[in-house]
Amino acid sequence: MILSAFLTDDQTYHSPLYFSFVVTLLALKSSAILENIVPMVPLLDKKVLSLAEATTRIAQVAQIVRMGGVIALPTDTIYGLACSVHSTSALKRIREIKGRSLNKPMAICVDKVSSIPRVCNTYGLPDDLLSALLPGPVTVVLPRLSDDPLSVDLNPNVNSLAVRVPDCGFVQKLLCALRAHRNPPLHDSDQVDSRDHPLVLTSANLSGDTSTLSVEEFRDIWHLLDVVVDGGSICSSRDSDPEAARAGSTIVDLCSVALRREYRVVRTGSALEHTVKILEHDFGLRPAK
């Protein structure tokens, strides 16, 4: 309507004011369109960084994550894709990169075990159970909090949450850098708890494909990522077979521990024997029937 008002007045149509108005209008429209296509994240001078380079530039990598970027990074099991748990655009983008259905929940990771009660309901768990399992190649599934601090776009309509504390120096450094930077993301309205900034963490591959142990194995999706951290080839320290690490973390559902003292293995992963020993021998839990 404002534009048509300009068009009805030939003198105004040719004025510098009109030209300035149109340029501003088009710029605003273009930026809105672009924002729906790709996050407006700051770019590094190159996409693939060695682990040493990424560690040196950890503040920049953290800023990219906070502003909606999706990155690839090594973990203590396999290579993963990570994004901010508070960024709606990044949550959507990471699913699109992987071709992952909304019906398949994604896990998160936090920097330390003491952060887990702030994102999950740990009521009724035996003392020190989580500390016995984590950090390490284990993912625990716990009920979500009734007053959930995480984005509503993270695994909508799912009442539980898978969470990790990776035993990986770079992931720990990145989570600490995210914690230290308290400014909220620029493109999402979610409020960020200044104490924690969890990462969504999922495998660096297309959904259904084999997990990856080197950055070359997922080269086909580099162009869709903002940063690729090359930590070299990953092998499992628990098994002489380097391919054993492809199993990823062992996933155990602890949602029934408080009521029935039961656990359920969701995925055997690379640390099943060690995990079962802790659950059954050390804490007296039993497998669900």
C-beta separation of 244 from 273 below 8 A: no
pTM: 0.81
Residue 116: CA count within 13 A, CB half-sphere: 27
CB–CB of 173/60 below 8 Å? no
Q: What's the confidence (pLDDT) of residue 44?
A: 81
Residue 186 lies in a domain: no
Please count the residues of the chain: 289
For the chain, percent helix, then strand, then coil, each to nearest 5? Answer: 40, 15, 45
Is residue 146 included in any domain, yes or no? yes
As beta bridge partners, residue 81 has 72, 202
CA dist 66 and 74 (Å) reads 19
When divided into structural domains, the chain yields a total of 1
In a domain, 254, yes or no: yes
| Per-residue model confidence as pLDDT tens digits over 54-110 | 999 999 999 999 999 999 999 999 999 999 999 999 999 999 999 999 999 999 999
Counting residues of the chain whose pLDDT is more than 90, the rounded percentage is 72
pLDDT at position 45: 85
Domain hosting residue 124, numbered range: 40-181+195-287
Q: Over the stretch 227-272, which tens digit does the pLDDT of each residue have? A: 999 999 998 655 556 667 799 999 999 999 999 999 999 999 999 9
Structure-token pair, residue 95:
């699913």
* 262-283 as b/e: b if 16+ CB within 10 A: bbebeeebbbbeebbebbeeeb
Any domain includes 7 = no
> What angle is formed at CA 253 by the lines to CA 250 and CA 256, rounded to 5 degrees?
155
Contact assessment for residue 110 and residue 142, using Cβ atoms and an 8 Å cutoff: no
Residue 228 lies inside a defined structural domain of this protein: yes
Please state, as a whole number, how many other Cβ atoms lie within 10 Å of the Cβ of residue 102.
Answer: 13
CATH number of the domain where residue 81 is located: 3.90.870.10
Determine, yes or no, domain membership for 26.
Answer: no
Give the distance, in angstroms, between the CA of residue 127 and the centroid of all CA atoms in the same chain.
Answer: 28
Distances (CA, A) of 218 to 15, 82, 189: 53, 14, 32
